[in-house]
Amino acid sequence: MRLLHTMLRVGNLERSLDFYQNVLNMQLLRRRDYPEGRFTLAFVGYGDEADHTVLELTHNWDTESYNLGEAYGHIAIEVDDAYAACERVKEMGGKVVREAGPMKHGTTVIAFVEDPDGYKIEFIQKKSGSDSVQYSS
């Protein structure tokens, strides 16, 4: 078994694609409109779906926003430098909701940003050498 994708419902597909492609440097892997169902699916990620887990952005044409709910947590992305990643997000007009720094009960450097729909994305700074990543909760 293998994790294929995580699906996020987005209110404005073009705005979301701009964020994931231009701010987070993901590639648009495929996109398809379903006129009969009035929705579009767009898959974005850092590599081919055959080898990587990706995000499925679902845009229901008649829905502009969603209540994100209390159970959703976040998407995590490994970055070389969380401080630089936050600066880039801010330079691109994105929203950093937790600046880069060590996690509360550990040493792993993390940060949180939000996409245009308010979904939280955690940056986890890659550790050098044999250090293992300590994930946040």
The SS3 call for residue 56 is strand
**1 vs 22: CA distance, rounded Å:** 31
Find the helix or strand (DSSP H, E) in which 86 lies. Answer: helix 82-91
- Kindly report the backbone phi and psi dihedral angles of residue 14, in degrees, each rounded to the nearest multiple of 5, phi listed first: -65, -40
Q: Is 122 a catalytic residue?
A: yes
Q: Which residue out of 36, 70, 87, 122 is catalytically annotated?
A: 122
Q: Which residues are catalytic?
A: 122
